[in-house]
Amino acid sequence: MTRKNSGIVNGALEEISALEYILLGDLLDLLEESDGDAGAWKWISQVLDTLLKMMPREFELQDEGGYLEEVLEEQPNWQGHVRNLYQERCDLLKKLNELQVRMQDSQPLHQMRRIAGELRHELRDWITSYIAHQRHERRIIQDAFNSDIGAAD
């Protein structure tokens, strides 16, 4: 990837990450307000739709040159960690999609009320897991570059 393309990719990733951060905050707020409110669930559905459209693009940009390739260049023996993070990321996207489908399948509103508490709990858990995953990605990148292989005097 050229330096110019790298800058474009990084800029796009920053924009997507910023929007994702806002959407996750909005989603948490909406979940607090959603108790039986059809309008809140409509907005939750729209936020989920947006996340499900954005996240594959974000992952595609992150994967240019290989997922966490910079980590593997510094620490080739961390392949297992990187593979586990990649799988976790795929599982998180799949779980969000499943939650969205369950939410859509529970329409109309009277059916939504029946599973609203469960969905609210599962969406909060998903957000917590996704944020933890992002932190783990950042931590493994930092650790790879800050790892001291063993300096000799």
Number of domains in the chain: 1
Q: Is residue 153, in this structure, part of any structural domain at all?
A: no
Q: Is residue 8, in this structure, part of any structural domain at all?
A: yes
Query: Where is pLDDT greater, at 41 or 106?
Result: 41
Residue 53 belongs to domain spanning = 3-146
Q: Are 10 and 106 in contact (CB under 8 A)?
A: no
Q: Is residue 34, in this structure, part of any structural domain at all?
A: yes
Q: Are 27 and 127 in contact (CB under 8 A)?
A: yes
99: pLDDT confidence band, cut at 50, 70 and 90?
Answer: very high
pLDDT reading at 113 higher than 50:
yes
CA distances (Å), origin 77, targets 64, 74, 80: 21, 9, 8
Peptide bond into 56 cis (omega under 30): no
Q: Is residue 112, in this structure, part of any structural domain at all?
A: yes
Q: Is residue 151, in this structure, part of any structural domain at all?
A: no
Q: Is residue 114, in this structure, part of any structural domain at all?
A: yes
- Lowest-confidence segment of 92-96, 111-115, 117-121 by average pLDDT: 111-115
Average per-residue pLDDT for the chain:
86
CA atoms within 13 A on the CB side of 108: 1
Q: Is residue 152, in this structure, part of any structural domain at all?
A: no
Per the listing, tokens 């559905």 go with: 45
pLDDT digits (tens, 9 = 90+) for 32-73: 887 667 778 888 889 999 999 999 999 999 898 899 999 999
